[in-house]
Amino acid sequence: MPTFRAMRLLHTSDWHLGRSLHGTDLLAEQEAVLSGLAAVVAAESVEVVLVAGDVYDRAVPSADATAVLDRVVGRLLSAGAAVVMTPGNHDSARRLGTFSGLLSAAGLHVRASTPRLDEPVLLSDEHGDVAVYGLPYLEPEVARHELGTEGARSHEAVLGAAMERVRADLFLRPGTRSVVLAHAFVGGGVASESERDICVGGVDLVPASVFDGVDYVALGHLHRPQTLSPRLRYSGSPLAYSFGEAGQQKQAWLVELDGTGLAGVRPVPLPTPRRLTVLEGTLDELLADPVHAEVEDHFVSARLTDPARPTDPMRRLQTRFPHCVHLEWTGAGGAADARSYQERMRGRSDVEIAGEFVQHVRGVAASAAERDLLARALGAHGRAEAAR
């Protein structure tokens, strides 16, 4: 008796090609981790790689970002997998869908057309057909016209209308297993710092029940991997895009479909080209403490606790941590002054006001010599104004 093998799909999302971390370009790290997916395809005999939205970080990606996508997809196709991707809220659906008809012949299936979202990519294995439906990110004010549901003004409403079309198409394909890619904030998901808000009119949350009736839903938008139900999951982003995600193990989901539907899902850990670390302490402590030697090559966010703001802290930090990209000074302390600006300035001289500014910025009061310098500078300025 022949043994039937389950179809394997690799669920990814939120590549955000072209994204930076506090102004530092991440394309090299993005290409490194995404190119590693080709090794997973080969090792796990993956037939299809799914990309559930936010392929790029902006609607008009740079030439370098598009070149990375070209190389990454080429490696995935060469490894033996087809690729199905949909646009997210960061992408331009029209741009991402350019030449989609031609690209599908090579194995790259871009599902970017809202009116045609119920036309699946049809794949076959020993058990029969698998229909993969790609739902582009549905902006309610645009999608309700494209779907012919004028009264649908929330993300839930337009996604509900889209899924009705999907289920209607599936009804005509008895015995066909089904996968849906969707970019949405689904109830039960936990957000990170690095997602762009997709709230429209105060309503962005979509109940999981919207996706009833399909075997697996590959979700995108939230950047941490999450399981909402066995068949409804977020893969998360392949890289950490904020220091709030430091320490997260990034992953993809390996999805298996047998003859009856979903057979199993397991995580596939992704490599971390450069880790993110948050350090806290005085500048001298961070520069000298040997315990930090193991994170010197990480992306670093430094929280400085010096009582006075140090001089040129970023340059000094980068002598030890060349990939320090963010710092904040937390050493001043003290409760915020609730008085209005007018109340705080009333009855005070220019020198007193300037001295308070120095203390606010630096954390310690101006010295006597500094106050004298401020007084002379303000006096000279006043005389120059009077002479005009």
pLDDT digits (tens, 9 = 90+) for 80-121: 999 999 999 999 999 999 999 999 999 999 999 999 999 999
The answer to whether the predicted template modeling score (pTM) of the entire model surpasses 0.95 is no
pLDDT at residue 345, as a whole number: 66
**What is the C-alpha separation between 82 and 41, in angstroms, rounded?**
10
SS (H, E, C) the chain: CCCCCCEEEEEECCCCECCEECCEECHHHHHHHHHCHHHHHHHHCCCEEEEECCCECCCCCCHHHHHHHHHHHHHHHHCCCEEEEECCCCCCHHHHCCCHHHHHCCCEEECCCCCCCCCCEEEEECCEEEEEEECCCCCHHHHHHHCCCCCCCCHHHHHHHHHHHHHHHHHCCCCCEEEEEEECEECCCCCCCCCCCCCECCECEECHHHHCCCCEEEEECCCCCEEEECCEEECCCCCCCCHHHCCCCCEEEEEEEECCEEEEEEEEECCCCCCEEEEEECHHHHHHCHHHHHHCCCEEEEEECCCCCCCCHHHHHHHHCCCEEEEEECCCCCCCCCCCHHHHHCCCCHHHHHHHHHHHHHCCCCCHHHHHHHHHHHHHHHHHHHHC
Tally of residues, the chain = 388
Higher per-residue pLDDT: 285 or 147:
285
Q: In the block, which residue shows the tokens 């000279």?
A: 380
Average pLDDT over residues 239-258: 95
Q: Is the pLDDT reported for residue 194 higher than 70?
A: no
Strand order in the sheet with 48-52: 108-110, 82-86, 48-52, 7-12, 251-258, 261-269
pLDDT at residue 198, as a whole number: 57
Q: Is the pLDDT reported for residue 341 higher than 70?
A: no
Amino acid at 301: S
Ordered by start, the domain boundaries in the chain are 7-269, 276-329, 341-387
Average pLDDT over residues 214-237: 96
pLDDT digits (tens, 9 = 90+) for 29-67: 999 999 999 999 999 999 999 999 999 999 999 999 999
pLDDT band at 150 (very low <50, low <70, confident <90, very high): confident
pLDDT at residue 363, as a whole number: 60
pLDDT at residue 79, as a whole number: 97
Question: pLDDT exceeding 70 applies to what percent of the chain?
Answer: 88
Q: In the block, which residue shows the tokens 């690095």?
A: 194
Token pair listed for 238: 């392949």
Torsion angle of the four alpha carbons 112, 11, 74, 42, in this order, in degrees rounded to the nearest 10: -160
Average pLDDT over residues 256-267: 96
Burial code (b: 16+ CB inside 10 Å, e: under 16) for 244-267 equals bbeebebbbbbbbbbeeebeebeb
Q: Is the pLDDT reported for residue 122 higher than 70?
A: yes
pLDDT at residue 203, as a whole number: 45
Q: Is the pLDDT reported for residue 353 higher than 90?
A: no
Which has the minimum average pLDDT: 282-291, 312-321, 364-373?
364-373
Which has the minimum average pLDDT: 153-167, 201-215, 277-291, 343-357?
343-357
Q: Is the pLDDT reported for residue 202 higher than 50?
A: no
Q: In the block, which residue shows the tokens 């090299």?
A: 28
**What is the C-alpha separation between 189 and 201, in angstroms, rounded?**
20
pLDDT band at 200 (very low <50, low <70, confident <90, very high): very low
Angle between the N-to-C axes of helices 37-44 and 27-35, in degrees from 0 to 180, rounded to the nearest 10 = 10
Burial category of 306 from C-beta neighbours within 10 Å (exposed 0-12, middle 13-18, buried 19 and up): middle
Q: Would you give the end-to-end CA distance of the chain in angstroms?
A: 102
Which has the minimum average pLDDT: 14-18, 287-291, 356-360?
356-360
pLDDT band at 225 (very low <50, low <70, confident <90, very high): very high
pLDDT digits (tens, 9 = 90+) for 263-300: 999 999 999 999 999 999 999 999 999 999 999 999 99
Instruction: Report the CATH fold assignment for 7-269.
Output: Purple Acid Phosphatase; chain A, domain 2 (3.60.21)
**What is the C-alpha separation between 86 and 89, in angstroms, rounded?**
10
CB 67 within 8 Å of CB 20: no
Q: Is the pLDDT reported for residue 8 higher than 70?
A: yes
**Mean pLDDT over each residue of the chain, to the nearest integer:** 89
